[in-house]
Structure 1
Amino acid sequence: MPELRAARTVLTAPLTRRAWEEAAYCLLSFVPALVGFALIVVVAVALGSAFTLTVLGAVPGILFLVAGLALARGLGALQRQLARGLIGERVEEPPRFHSRGGLVARVEARLRDATAWRAVAYVLVKLPLATLGLYAVLWWVIGAINVTALVRWAAGQRDMALLHPLPGGGQPPVHSLGGAFAAAAVGCAILLVSPWLTRGVVAVDRRLVRALLGPGALAERLRDLEETRALAVDDAAQQLRRLERNLHDGAQVRLAALAMSLDMVREQLDDRDRPELHRLVETARDNAAETLTELRDLSRGLHPPALDGGLADALTTLAAKTALPVDVSVDVPNRPTPAIESLAYYCAAELLANVIKHSGARGCGIELSTGDGTLRLRVTDDGRGGAHIAEGGGLAGLVQRARTVDGELTVNSPHGGPTTVNVRLPLHA
């Protein structure tokens, strides 16, 4: 019956693992909350903001703020670990702090770090909440002490008091066995209430952790869009690869068979009897051969077969077919996703074609490596230089292709050479 289940839930609540974990969370999270409030809110933010209002204290004030924001991020990570380990609250990690440029740019980026400021807000609210949590843990302690009143009475202790966690009022003395029974009963009642107090504090803290220590709504939306884009890019790569196989195993085979059949027909025709039919068969055979060649070129553009063995084999094969000597260096321990491999191969092929057509180089090099979660492609040549990204040009098209997966392409090509083109792509689309 629902009433019996509810009564059993209330009576067994102090004995559950969840209740003890929530009480431990309230107890352990108080110290970082207190230290964080003192160092971040009082010292770093408040004192730093006050310093920035003065001329001489502007620089120290900014340094205080920067240090406080960095500390807030660290404290936020600690609170997420506590929540994950004790109460099972798993919150996604917010984006890591990244800054580029000089000292001023890095300081500005730190001051604009929304994740750090949300962590400061959490620290600001956490201290009064942690104080309530510590008060809830006090109920556990007082209840446990009162429950032992009978044991202490039996052990000969006659100078006891009935403790209660409510503010105000005194602690009634216990001088009799009946008073010991009453103290134990009050202790049991307090222990029955205590888990629900800690659970209420933890419930509020869960909401704060999700709202202030997670990635934030904008970051979550961005992550969803990135995941959706990655699925779309990978699906497109799989569809192209399936199309290439269908063309290779289906249409190309039939066209090859058709061309062979037309060759056999041509050999059996007599030019003296049916010259016009001979020319017609010859034209049809040539058209079939040209169509087969175009179809093969199209299927290679969809998914180069050389990529089945990885980028190292594909680039080596590409370099071997190039008219110029090409030095290939590949250091890719783990293969990227098929879509990224296809994009990197396409960029290398287009850049080599540009070298042959426009640079007048005597040789070139291809370097492929990974690091920091990115795939880096570098193509260099010793040509005349002067290459640049022009609207509507081939390099501009490569830039747009790289941007579809949050990659980038840069060109360094002074007049007189040499030319270096760097392509940076993520390992996963």
Structure 2
Amino acid sequence: MTRMTPVDGHAPPFLLAPFDRRTWRAYGFLWLALLLAPFALAYSLFTVVFMAGVAVTVVGLFVAGGVLLGARGWGSMYRRMAVRFLGVEIAEPAPRTPRKGFWRRLGGMLGDATAWRALLYMVVTFPLALVGFVVSTVFLAVALGSMTHWFWSRWLPLQQASDGTWHRGASFGTDWFVDTPARQLLLVAAGVILFYLWPQVQLLFVGLFRLLAVGLLSPTRASLRVAYAERARAVTVEDADARLRRIERDLHDGTQAHLVAVAMQIGEARELLRDGAGSDRGIDSAELAAVLETAHTSTKDTLAELRELARGIRPPALDAGLAVALETLAARAALPVRVHAVGLDGADLPPSVTAISYFAVAELVANATKHARATGVDVVAGVEPVSDAATGAAVRALVLRVRDDGVGGAAVRAPDASGRGSGLAGLTDRLSGVDGTLRVVSPAGGPTVITVTIPLPAPDARP
């Protein structure tokens, strides 16, 4: 995400612009850009020439690729300069991931788009740095010199006019000298005008630097999409692995233990049958019935646990649609949950969207029960047109709004050093797997309204 607003707010008013720190900070940027411009241009030209010179050797291309990747460091430096001095917020490009394989690694080095864009920035800003610094400095120097001419002109050497008179002061032409009070005052007024025009003229060059920094040093939309997809894929894999671990733990600690108990109880019944058949007293039917009853009860408990595990993997109610699944979830909740499903009956929702929507609502209802101290929850679900964040076009999306009357204060907190974060952060990561978003409005004292938006594919794009 890139913004072109000043760090300290709006642009300074015209009358205060020459004295505003942002104006002088931008002038400092022009100084730094001028000092770095020759070295940046030399690095860029050397990279291109060196790459062309060693193109016939594979080893040389690896070295050239390393030199090219060094442009990433230049780009990072210029990005920090833009943030610090120009008030532009530029997102960091995605880190480079080395590819596996000899030729793929080489191709990844030589085709690094971030490095090439940084080189292009270094080349095109060279003349801009020269012209911007010279024009800005000339405006500022002439303005300050004109305003203070009345003071320092007394030390200027005498000059003779064409009529033979002698004058001391700045001359315009051959016979017009600034050496009278009226002319000194006129020059001061001209200096004041130039001093107030200086920030506006400088702003033109600074604006060009901002545009180039945003256009060439920020990540492209395609790279952001790739990074987002890779992150979503990693989150999906981690979520699936965590789910499998939870199922394995539940099976090991619960179901397996109960099955072992059932096996022991059946073994005990078998021993009773064998001992009774070989004794004169016969089989103790009461004791045998008690053992079998215990085994029967344990078997029913195990079946119930297995049903709960299966329901956690994919609730059977989802087969009847999301609206029915949400109603079933509301009926099993620990506090009153009111579900309002609008337009879901005829909506052809992908199975992945239906499943993640169900589990999202389940987690939000559980959070309201555990943490919000709510007395009731309202769930509104429906298909609505929303604006696509990338293109701005209207797209269909499944929108879920979960509102509780609890104490409020809910927030998406990133994991800390120990890896612990809020459940909402984990839900945000899981929603990223289907390009979904989560928005939280939870003032202190409540109510809390959490909106989940999941874009839906176009009907003709469904496989």
Instruction: Name the TM-score, length of structure 2 as normaliser.
Output: 0.46
When the two structures are superposed, what TM-score results if normalisation uses the length of structure 1? 0.50
